[in-house]
Every structure is written in C-alpha cells, then in structure tokens.
Structure 1
Amino acid sequence: MTAAPVRLTARALLLDMDGTLVNSDAVVERCFSRWAERNGLDPAEVLAVAHGRQGHATMALLLPDRPAELNLADNERILAEERADTEGVVPVPGAAAFLASLTGLPHALVTSADLPLARIRMTAAGLPMPSVLVTAESVGASKPDPEGFLKGAADLGFAPADCLAFEDSGAGIAAAKAAGVRVVGVGPRALPHHPDAHADTLTTVTVTAAPDGLLTVTVG
C-alpha cells in the first residue's frame, strides 16, 4: 500500500547540500577511505560516521585522543582533495526542479562543506547556489551541533520553529532537531533517524506558497 502524502507548513526552508541536493558519495568515500587507511582505521567504520559532519569533527569522533591541530591539518588536506575531485558528483534526482520551485521563496543552504567546496559541488551538479549560505566558515561547531541551522534561520529572519530542514544524515537530522527545526529526511541514510517526513528523492517533494507567504511542503 502506498503511504499517504505528508504535508508540512513552514515560513522558510533550510537545505543541506551533500546527500540532499548533491550526490557526492563517491568523492567522500574515496577521500575518507584514503584517510582511514593512512590512520589504520577501517574505511567502512569511518564512512559510517563521516556523512554530514565537517572532516575534523569526524576525526575527533574516531580518534578522540588525537591532537586537534592534527585533525585540522588533515581536514584541510581532505578539503583540497575533495575540491579537486568532482568525478561522480551529480544532482539528487529532482533537485533542479525542487530548487527552481523555491525561486523567490525564503531558503538557505546549511552545509558542512566550506564555501569553495560548496560552489564546486553545486556547479558540478548543475544546480544554482542559494543566495543565503551557511558553510563551514560560518560556524564554530560542526553538525550535529545546531549552530548552523540556528544561523540559517536567523539569517532568513525566522524562528527555528517556523523553518523546515532537508537533511540526509544522522548528524544533520540531529542538528536540525537540536535547533528546534522540523526535518524532511532525504534518501536512505535519513530513514533510521526519524525525520518528520521522508522522501526517497526530491522528485516526490513539492512546495507551494500561499499569498501570506506560508509554504506547504508535500512529501509523497
């Protein structure tokens, strides 16, 4: 039996990038598998927690006794590798039409990527960059800390409770929930983390705006 569509209302949308708008899994897997091997770790265990976090936060989680300066140095190395590697970077199905439907509506990108990487990946996927951006440089703490989503809501001029986040990872969903933002989970990684609604891809998501600006997001 097909599930009935889920409808949520919001005043603004907060959009993760990797795994939500852009499928960059191939690059992440290549770069973090190399890092895992350099540090004597199982690549599968690293990749199980790498999605959604800034690189140094992943490293701190996996190697808690490692000096922070080494994690930050490795983070810069991985970012450089990721910026140079766009092979396999493609839009999540439905992402282009979804972003086009948000033209003129309040929305922000809230990503753990830094600004150069975000621009490279959105361009590689052929997607337009939202005008309001919260990137790694914008925050002092990585997802699952809520800072990015709190900043995104504030930059758009709305309370977190009036926003709706789109996320694919456990870290991202936890960050949104901690900020008091409801979440539409996108893709298979999101489903185990109990988002408020779930879409296999963005092809099943529509957004309509009422004259008063209230957004209705239909999933399914």
Structure 2
Amino acid sequence: MSDITANVPVAPLPIPAGAFKAYLFDLDGTLADSMPLHYKAWMQAVADFGGTFPEDVFYELGGVTIVKTVEILNERFGSHMPPEETAHHKEQLYYAMLPELKPIASVVAHVHAMHGKIPMGIVSGSPRASIAQTLERIGLGGEFDIIVGAEDYTHGKPDPEPFLTAAKKLNIAPADCLVFEDADAGIASAIAAGMQYVRVPRGSISS
C-alpha cells in the first residue's frame, strides 16, 4: 500500500503497483482543498448552537458524516446541539465559502489521466448536494461514474460500507479498487473493505 506522508509536487501522487479496475476518491481534503473551509463553517455553526469543535478533533473525524459528527461532539463535550439543524446550518455556511475552493492538483491529475479508461467514483461523508456543488466548483462535475454520499449507506467511515457500496454500484470486486483518501477514518474504511489506498497528505498542493 502507498502511505504517502511527504510534501508532493503538482504531479500525480504515486500509486501502488496493480492492475486496478476502478478508482474511488474521497472528496474533501482529497480532490478538493476544502477542509479549511469546512472547519471555518463548522466553527461558526457549533458556536451558533453553543458547542465546541477543536481543530484536532475536526481532523480526527474526517470522513464521518455531518449528523454523526454533531452527535459525537455532543457526547464528547457535553453539548446539546440539534444534530440535523446544526448539520444543515453548517452546510449552508460552507456553500457560502465555495468561491474560495480550489482543487488538489496532484490528485485531480489522476482523474484526468484515467477518465474514460476505468470507472471512477466519489465516496464521501458529505451529502450529495454538497458533493455536487464542490465537484462543479473544482471543474469535475461530469467526471465520475458514480457518487456515494451520506444518504447512500447506513454505517459511515471507518466502516467499510461506503466503499463496498461504491464497488457494488460499479460491479467491481473490492480488491480491484484503489482508494484515494486523506483521513484516517477513510483509510480504515478502505482497509476494512479490502482495498488498497493512496494517502493524500494534508497540505497537498492545490491549483
């Protein structure tokens, strides 16, 4: 497996050897340099509902669905934020920041290189509406064969269900899928699904 942790140039990230039949991409922090924007939105949202969200916990929970994140914060910090309402508020704040969004060039290069050659999918903890807006903003709105969002599975990352759902939709064996991920929860999900992965380092170069 390829666990890349060093800074990388604006070139495709190295991938493990293998004749992969499908590429599966996380979105936030992997294809889109959106994690700083998501954190800004989260900080405002939780403050508006009397909660707290330390930055280290934000990155720890990368890949976890939005509603589940609010539930975890309530449990961990003793807050009482309404999960659905807080999640909706956070997403609206994020949408307002989309003009600031940039793609991560070293990962997007793989999308351009393999488009039309093998099936590709998005596997994200975000809602489909958020995924669609992010993809459009970074110029990848029509590049993927499938999109798996928070509405499409019961158990989110680090459970394997999100990536297994994508493999099933593509009719590709899990072992033949390569996952691109930046978050520990997402990588744990890929491993549990029996898939190889490329770790996208935080701070990868955007364009």
Q: TM-score, normalised by structure 1?
A: 0.75
Q: Which residue of 2 aligns with 1:123?
A: 136
Could you tell me which of 59, 81, 86 is aligned with 2:93?
A: 81
1:137 partnered with 2:151: yes
Partner AA of 1:15 in structure 2: F
Structure number with higher strand proportion? 1
Q: Which residue of 2 aligns with 1:97?
A: 109
Q: Is the 8 A contact 2:70 2:81 kept in 1?
A: no
Task: State the shift of 1:102 in Å.
Answer: 1.8
1:149 partnered with 2:163: yes
d(CA) in 2 for partners of 1:67, 1:42: 11
Task: State the shift of 1:165 in Å.
Answer: 0.5
Provide the identity percentage: 29
Shift in CA distance, 128/39, structure 1 to aligned 2, threshold 3 Å:
same
Shift in CA distance, 6/91, structure 1 to aligned 2, threshold 3 Å:
closer
1:158 partnered with 2:172: yes
Q: Which residue of 2 aligns with 1:215?
A: none
Q: TM-score, normalised by structure 2?
A: 0.79
Alignment of 1:164-179 (within 5 A): 164-179=178-193
Q: Which residue of 2 aligns with 1:193?
A: none
Alignment of 1:1-220 (within 5 A): 7-9=16-18, 10-37=20-47, 38-64=49-75, 70-104=82-116, 105-129=118-142, 130-188=144-202
Root-mean-square deviation (Å): 2.7
Report how many residues are paired.
189
Unpaired runs of 5+ in structure 1?
A: 190-199, 204-220
